[in-house]
Amino acid sequence: MSDLDLFTPLQLGPHQLPNRLVMAPLTRNRARADGVPTPMMIAYYRQRASAGLIISEATCIAPTAVGYPLTPGIWSAEQAAGWAPITAAVHAAGGRIFCQLWHVGRVSHPSLLPAGGLPVAPSAVQPAGEAATYEGPQPFVTPRALETAELPEIVAQYRRAAEHALAAGFDGVEVHAANGYLLDEFLRDGTNRRSDGYGGSVEHRARLLLEVLAAVCAVWGSDRVGVRLSPIQPFNDMRDSDPEGTFSRVVELLDPLGLAYLHVTRLGRDAPGAAGPHFDPDRLRRLWQGVYMTNHGYDRASATAAVVNGEADLVAFGVLFLANPDLPERFRRGAPLNEPDPATFYGGGEQGYTSYPFLD
């Protein structure tokens, strides 16, 4: 036990966080079709600047990384210019914001990609389920396996995106290696069937992630770069034959890098539908020497317990921050929370986006 709580400040690299509540990355589908942020996103992020840290919605690193309608990008100077007033508004309100760098990999659809190309993946393994497109849900297609010679360009795309995020005024970046997207697809053996230096052993499957992190850290410095993992998350038809062994080794490989934080998405402790033999991802905390962030289903009491008991340094909240722009103050006062409106989660206008009321 300790005297820490959710409102104990935390040093995160060069940033002093005033509390331990993080706004999780939340896809809201309110950017322009070309990936440029829209003006209403300025108010949305500014409203939530009392979070210790905001992690932006997942933000595409390249035209070939897009997998959902109306999601923002960070591959162009125009997109970076669209993000600049958002980061400035967060800073003016006293907040800090990281950009989550995203390549969706196999769960895209030709209708979303340049020239109707196939989605790319470590291996040509078709996921079960449907892609979200402008024409509505469409069955996932079989992706194209990336050639070994193409992987340096993937790394270069992450580096260019990191450069644009720096120019846009973000305080750091989070590399999205979770939830069945490209880097996660390389990590798990259910989607990585490669026989080159990027497949087989865990060390080889983690190679692309490590190369991406090296490139991004060269832009930002490691103490302003986080990474997100989801060891037992089955979303996007993911699985691994040994998630505990895989991700324990991945964390051991990441630990010496001096990253700002490790962000681990857990499921409930019984983990129905876990993507492989169940283990509690909280065990990874013991392997990580730096700042550890967790999320998935926390409330005020369970988040406080996680920090007090040393299970996490930071706790990320998704839907609660979506519906409660002043979530830290509501937690501080023990005040009632707004009810979220699921019909407005994805797409639409200001209703259900910037319209949730504050306490005061």
User: Measured in Å, how far apart are the chain's first and last C-alpha atoms?
Assistant: 34
298 catalytic? Reply is no
Strands 225-229 and 261-265: parallel
Q: Specify whether the backbone of 273 is left (phi greater than 0), alpha (psi in -120 to 50) or beta.
A: left
Whole-angstrom distance, CA of residue 202 vs CA of residue 189? 9
| Active-site residue, from 181, 298, 353, 356 | 181
Tell how far CA 61 is from the center of its chain: 13
Report the 10 Å Cβ neighbour count for 310: 12
Contact 71, 60 (CB under 8 A): yes
Which residues of 59-125 form beta strands (DSSP E)? Answer: 59-60, 97-102, 120-121
Rg, the chain, Cα only: 19
Helix (H, G, I), strand (E, B) or coil at 109: coil
Whole-angstrom distance, CA of residue 33 vs CA of residue 41? 14
Contact 222, 162 (CB under 8 A): no
Active site residues: 181
